[in-house]
A = this chain, B = another copy of it.
Amino acid sequence: MDDTAQQRLKKVHDTLTRAERQLAGAILENYPMSGLGSITRLAEKAEVSTPTVVRMVQKLGYTGFPEFQAALREELEAQISNPIDKRDGWSNTAPEEHLLNRFTDAVIGNIRQTLAHIDPADFDAVAALLADEAQSVFIAGGRITHALSEYLHLHLQVIRGRVQHIPTTSNAWPHALLDIEPGDVVVIYDIRRYENSTLKLAEMAAARGARTVLVTDQWQSPISRFATYSFSCRIEAPSAWDSTVAMMLLSETLIAAVQEAAWERTRDRMGALEEMFDETRVFRKFV
Using a CB–CB cutoff of 8 Å, the interface residues on chain A facing chain B are 10, 14, 18, 21-22, 25, 28-31, 33, 36-37, 70, 73, 76-77, 79-82, 84, 87, 90-94, 98-101, 103-104, 107-108, 111-113, 115-120, 123, 143-144, 146-148, 150-151, 154-155, 171, 174, 195-197, 200, 218-220, 224, 230, 237-241, 243-245, 248-249, 252-253, 255-257, 259-260, 266, 270, 281, 283-285, 287
Contact = CB atoms under 8 A, between A and B. Distances in A.
10 contacts: A29-B113, A30-B77, A84-B108, A99-B257, A100-B118, A101-B115, A103-B252, A239-B252, A239-B259, A245-B252
B219 A237 contact: no
Contacts of A99: 253, 256-257, 260
Given A18-B219, A28-B113, A197-B287, 4 more contacts: A90-B116, A155-B241, A196-B285, A240-B259
A93 to B, nearest CB: 6
A99 to B, nearest CB: 5
Contacts of A243: 249, 252
Give the one of A143, A249, A266 with max B CB within 10 A. A249
Contacts of A104: 111, 115, 249, 253
* Total copies of this chain within the assembly: 2
A23 to B, nearest CB: 12
Contacts of A283: 171
Contacts of A90: 111-112, 115-116
